[in-house]
Every structure is written in structure tokens, then in C-alpha cells.
Structure 1
Amino acid sequence: MTLERKIARAFNLTHKNWMKHSNPWSVWTRYSVLPIIIFAFWSRIWIGSWCLIPGGISLLWMFFNPVFFKAPKSTRNWASRSVMGERVFLNRDKIDIPAIHKGPIHNILNGVSSIGMVIAIWATVVYSVWGAILGIVLAYLGKSWFLDRMVWLYEDMKDNNEEYKSWDY
């Protein structure tokens, strides 16, 4: 079982919920989570432990966002295809993906994103504005590039598998 499949299970991503998550509103609003979490915990200097409330709400938003929206009217957009590509990628242990989509690039991009997260967390602890900005930029650069690779993967796989093709409407 892939790590991605374990994460999908933690977020209760059934077929129905995957389709909800493929709504562009779901994809784009998830980009709000990291800056809101950073700002919430940064605000501890002004509001003390009350910062846990907006921080907790933003963490809940991260967890429930994938199932909050309705399935999109069309999946023929970058955001929807990025989610469907993630779904194909997590299924790579059952349905092989083309060689061009294998290799270290996914780990590298996730590594860039993870380094950004670590920098953002560090910056929040020490109140470094530039560190927070750098961390967010790296986290989102890695994640966005990864999602773009997922769009490419989905485009390469959708015509070779009936289930994947059914997601395209």
C-alpha cells in the first residue's frame, strides 16, 4: 500500500469524496491553509493561547476541505486533473504508470515542499517574516510543481484505463 493511499484513507477519500476534492474550489482554497496556520500561531504574541482557536480551525479546514465542496460540473481543468492525477499516482502499486512518471522527481518535489514547511514552522517560532515567506513559497512551489506533474500523469493515463477515463467529464 502506498503512503499516498494511507493518507487518502485518513482523509476518507472514497470515490465520491475524491470527486468532491477534484472541485477547483477545493484545490485552490487549500492553498489558504498554510498562511492561515502560520498567521494564527504568529498571533500568539498578540492574543496568547487564544491563537489555538484560529490555528485549530485552519487545521480542521485542511482536514474537511477535500469533502466540503460538491463534485465539479466539469473535470476538464488543471485543478481537477491534478487531483485525478494524484489518485492515479497513489494507485501505481495496482496499475503501472509510464516510466517517465517514475523516478525521484516526485520525492524531490515533496522534499522541496517539506523543506518549505520546516522553514515556515521555524519562522513562526522565531517571528521571521522573511523566513515565513520563504517557507510558504518553497512549500507551494514544490506542491504546485508536483500537482502539475499529476496533471501530466492523468493526461497520459486516462485513455488507457476505463475507470480513469470515467473521471473525465
Structure 2
Amino acid sequence: MAERAMGMTPATWDRHANPWSGWSRVAILPLLAAAAWSRVWIGWWALVPVGAIVIWTWVNPRIFAPPASTDNWMSRGVLGEQIWLVRGGEPALAHHLPVVRALTFLGAAGAILLLVGLVLLDLPLAVAGLAVAMLAKLWLLDRMVWVFSDARLTAPMPAYRPDT
């Protein structure tokens, strides 16, 4: 669902595999949290940084050139995510499913804690939620590197095509 909302195409995925794209996206959730918290200081003007971050979230996978090499952790994580979206139900990748589900649940729980902390202006709760969500996201990205490695052993690349 998020992939469709982001309008991810094969060309967009190629660009998103650039490590600059992946690493700059890691900062999105903390920046979004800070922008939401800024309502304390700047009131409704907080919608400006929130809007800028939402726009950056959409623009980011499109703005960087395809990487010269995918021989790095971030590129492999992004490519693994791409593979997972298409082939995650295959028997060769089935051993990843329980971990992916657990990390997705953990990330969602962290995001809920973050949201509640932001709404209530409870800094410890917001920071705890952000830490849990970020830890789950990075751990899931590391799992996608593993998915990428496993998938390369079972099928040739490219594995992603949204129309199939």
C-alpha cells in the first residue's frame, strides 16, 4: 500500500537503491517528530516543516541517480525490500517471514508510542517511541540485506516489477 502511495516504479527503485537516498531517508522520522513538536514554539507554522518533510519523503527516491555500485549495505537493504515486496511469500524466503512480521509490529508499536508522545507533548514517551521505531526500521533493513542475499541465490535479478 505504501509502495503504491509513493508511486514506486522500477526506475524509482533503481534511484532509491542509491545509498544517499537510503541514508537520507533514515532521518525522516526524527525530523518529522521534531517538526511536529515545533508546534510548541511556532504554532500552526509547524505545518510548514511537516509539509516539507512529507514532500521530501516523496521526492527522495526520485532525486538521486541510480548507484554506480550496489556493493554496500544500504543499497542491498533497499534491493532486498524491493524483492520482499514481490517474492516475500516464496518458500525460499519463508524463514524471514516471522522476523519481518515481528519487526513490522515492533516498528508500528514504536510509531504509536511516538505519536502519543507527540500528541501529549510527553518527551520521554516520544523519544522512547522514536527509538523503538528507528531500531525496528534499521533491524528490518538489515533483514532485507539478508533477503537480498538469499534471493540472489534462488532467482536472477531484477526481481521487482510492479505490474507482475
Matched, 1:18 2:13: yes
> Given that residues 36 and 50 in structure 2 are in contact (C-alpha distance below 8 angstroms), is that contact kept between their aligned partners in structure 1?
yes
SS, match of residue 91 in structure 1: helix
The CA distance in 2 between the partners of 1:69 and 1:38, in whole Å, is: 24
The CA distance in 1 between the partners of 2:33 and 2:137, in whole Å, is: 17
Q: Structure 2: which 5+ runs fail to align?
A: 160-164
Q: CA RMSD in A?
A: 1.7
Question: Which residue of 132, 143, 156 corresponds with 2:137?
Answer: 143
Identity across the alignment (%)? 37
Change beyond 3 A, Cα 1:94–1:110: closer
Matched, 1:69 2:64: yes
Structure-2 residue corresponding to 1:34 = 29
The CA distance in 2 between the partners of 1:24 and 1:47, in whole Å, is: 33
The CA distance in 1 between the partners of 2:53 and 2:138, in whole Å, is: 20
Q: For 1:21, give the aligned amino acid.
A: H
Structure-2 residue corresponding to 1:130 = 124
Change beyond 3 A, Cα 1:13–1:96: farther
The CA distance in 2 between the partners of 1:93 and 1:117, in whole Å, is: 23
Matched, 1:90 2:85: yes
Tell me the TM-score normalized by structure 2.
Answer: 0.89
The CA distance in 1 between the partners of 2:105 and 2:141, in whole Å, is: 14
The CA distance in 2 between the partners of 1:62 and 1:124, in whole Å, is: 20
Q: How many correspondences in the alignment?
A: 159
The CA distance in 2 between the partners of 1:74 and 1:93, in whole Å, is: 24
The CA distance in 2 between the partners of 1:25 and 1:100, in whole Å, is: 30
Stretch deviating more after TM superposition (9-18 or 85-94) = 85-94
Tell me the TM-score normalized by structure 1.
Answer: 0.86
The CA distance in 2 between the partners of 1:99 and 1:17, in whole Å, is: 27
Q: For 2:155, give the aligned amino acid.
A: N
> Given that residues 20 and 68 in structure 1 are in contact (C-alpha distance below 8 angstroms), is that contact kept between their aligned partners in structure 2?
yes
Q: For 2:27, give the aligned amino acid.
A: S
Q: CA deviation at 1:163?
A: 2.3
> Given that residues 157 and 164 in structure 1 are in contact (C-alpha distance below 8 angstroms), is that contact kept between their aligned partners in structure 2?
no
Structure-2 residue corresponding to 1:53 = 48
> Given that residues 88 and 94 in structure 2 are in contact (C-alpha distance below 8 angstroms), is that contact kept between their aligned partners in structure 1?
no
> Given that residues 117 and 125 in structure 2 are in contact (C-alpha distance below 8 angstroms), is that contact kept between their aligned partners in structure 1?
yes
The CA distance in 1 between the partners of 2:19 and 2:79, in whole Å, is: 12
Question: Which residue of 83, 103, 110 corresponds with 1:109?
Answer: 103
SS, match of residue 92 in structure 2: coil
Question: Which residue of 3, 6, 9 corresponds with 1:8?
Answer: 3
